[in-house]
């Protein structure tokens, strides 16, 4: 039986989550990529609390874009999540690619977050 693309992502995400855990000192930068948008959250898994979040649906990001499904959009979300994390004193995170391959929009978000000052 052939496994669907979404199911493959879910399987990979479970495997990644078995190895990646966010703590108070080093929270998890989780990325979710849909066909039309991209979302990022900085999460403390011990307290089960989201510390910062950003997505292409936010008015400040959406107004500057023609589509939320591009590498440029992902880079803007990466810069925004890094800025919000640094404002809260979070400099080091662990990266959770959400079962997606480290390529394209996910890679663009990660590199933009690194350039904006996050360490991972």
Q: Which of 73, 72, 66 is nearest to 38 (CA)?
A: 73
Mean pLDDT within 76-94? 97
Least confident of 36-40, 49-53, 54-58, 62-66: 62-66
Q: State yes or no: pLDDT of 1 exceeds 90.
A: no
Question: What is the token pair recorded at 42?
Answer: 């900085």
Asked if the structure places residue 19 within a domain, the reply is yes
Nearest-10 Cα torsion for 45, 94, 32, 99: -100
Mean pLDDT within 27-34? 97
Asked if the structure places residue 120 within a domain, the reply is no
- How many structural domains compose the chain? 1
Asked if the structure places residue 70 within a domain, the reply is yes
Q: State yes or no: pLDDT of 78 exceeds 90.
A: yes
Mean pLDDT of all residues belonging to the chain: 96
- Separation of first and last alpha carbons in the chain: 37
Q: Cβ neighbours of residue 11 under 8 Å, at least 6 residues apart?
A: 3, 99
Q: What is the CATH number of the domain that holds 32?
A: 3.30.420.100
Give SS3 for 67. Answer: coil
* Tens-place pLDDT, residues 6-23: 999 999 999 999 999 999
Q: What is the pLDDT of residue 106?
A: 98
**pTM (predicted TM-score):** 0.93
Range of the domain at 69: 5-115
Share of the chain above pLDDT 90, in %: 98
Mean pLDDT within 60-88? 96
């Amino acid at each position: 039986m052939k496994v669907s693309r979404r199911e493959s992502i879910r399987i990979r995400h479970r495997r990644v989550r078995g190895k990646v855990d966010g703590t108070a000192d080093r929270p998890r930068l989780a990325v979710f990529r849909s066909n039309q948008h991209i979302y990022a959250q900085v999460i403390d898994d011990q307290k089960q609390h989201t510390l910062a979040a950003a997505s292409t649906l936010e008015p400040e990001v959406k107004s500057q874009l023609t589509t939320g499904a591009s590498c440029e959009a992902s880079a803007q979300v990466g810069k925004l999540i890094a800025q919000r994390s640094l404002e809260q004193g979070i400099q080091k995170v662990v990266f959770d690619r959400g079962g997606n391959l480290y390529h394209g929009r996910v890679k663009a978000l990660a590199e933009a977050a690194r350039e904006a000052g996050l360490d991972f």
